[in-house]
Amino acid sequence: MKVILVNGSPHPHGCTFTALEVVAAALNEDSIETQFFHVGTKPLSGCIACQTCAKTGRCVFSDGVNDFLELAQQADGFIFGSPVHFFSIGLFLAHFVWEIVRSA
């Protein structure tokens, strides 16, 4: 079994990553393979509603979304971690999830 831990923080080794590391350690104890994917360190392009993702399953922009979609095919599960800003998930992760949903 493989789980991808998605760090939605722009700080690759900040508090969100530290929390995800604790989760990864617990999963690894149960022989579950884990892999980190950092969202906040990769540029994400804004959607231009070209509908390419709906036709091809890939964003027209070569950004982190396409990398994640390829990696996701090998995973059995996902855990998303995000800093909380103004009672909501961080902008990087919100945009990233929106792009994934449009491309799926």
Mean pLDDT of 14-42: 95
Mean pLDDT of 63-87: 90
Query: What's the confidence (pLDDT) of residue 92?
Result: 82
Q: Does residue 3 register a pLDDT over 90?
A: yes
Q: Does residue 40 register a pLDDT over 90?
A: no
Write down all domains in the chain, each with its CATH number in brackets: 2-103 (3.40.50.360)
Query: What's the confidence (pLDDT) of residue 89?
Result: 87
Query: What's the confidence (pLDDT) of residue 43?
Result: 74
- SS3 for the chain is CEEEEEECCCCCCCHHHHHHHHHHHHHHHCCCEEEEEECCCCCCCCCCCCCHHHHHCCCCCCCHHHHHHHHHCCCCEEEEECCEECCEECHHHHHHHHHHHHHC
CA distance 103 to 65: 8
